[in-house]
Structure 1
């Protein structure tokens, strides 16, 4: 096989929680009197929580201490997590469940590489708590995408060389991170495909089978 392992971003690849993120950030921004819309939200894709807040604060008329930043990002996360309790297995994107099981049957190592600190909670809601061989997420990294750390650590957890791994991503920052980490990538979703940064382009999630076979 061309690859021995596949590392998946979570949000926008396995499931979609964009709207929950947007609504939670919007609530925080509204309380702070910061203009926030879908255009700003688009810049937050694949970016860590604190880095996302720094982007939002570009429109903030004032200064904020590190302690205050932690307060507001923690508040955003509590709002977001309360929304995530509505999720279930049916929230996996089309073709994901079937394709994941086919990839597992092919003997491939499967991992998650996500900047989210809520990765394990979300996987639990989707019924995938024990499915992946490794999880690299916001709880074990210090640098967010486009830095390759999250994917490099996932490969290390799998005991795989970067060249053996394929990264599946829906964000430009994630595709850049894969390249920086020495890994091929499969771009998934309109924005990712349009970027031209992926080694492969996935019109459907199930197209992965043809790439790795």
Structure 2
């Protein structure tokens, strides 16, 4: 188990928001940061730089185990693509294999999705892929490998009513297969909290 997985709720506490909308989040009980100065932090006035940094940390943290280097690379690609950079950024993040495995409810958390892909439990278009950051394209078929379909983690996630699958994926939980149908816009993504990719763009373009 990685350090990020074992401490995932620290991200919630640091942001002061229940990023994934989970009932177990400690923010539901303590909506202030961790540590002895956590409550004092709520009273501080935040600068423009602080707002931009927070937006970046929140979006990066949501996707679990993305490093700063990886996240900046995704930003760079979003800038190079035609169209709205904020929408491009969201589309690229949601096209990651681990993000889609999470959206399809094959696992309960984004952290579990990374580990699940890493351990070789997922096929894309019939081929095993164990790279969480693998970029999927519309039309790609993602499936849980047959020998992995009876893992309790998978069965529990599929039956959970905690969240719904978005309309840019089609999923058959009986066969444990899903299809990525289109690149989503920001408004399509079922974030539990408000994300502000425009502030992330401003952070990196300073």
Shorter-normalised TM-score: what interval? Answer: under 0.3
TM-score (norm 1): 0.26
More RCO (CA 8 Å, sep 6+): 1
The structure in which a higher percent of residues are helix is 1
For normalisation by structure 2, the TM-score amounts to 0.27
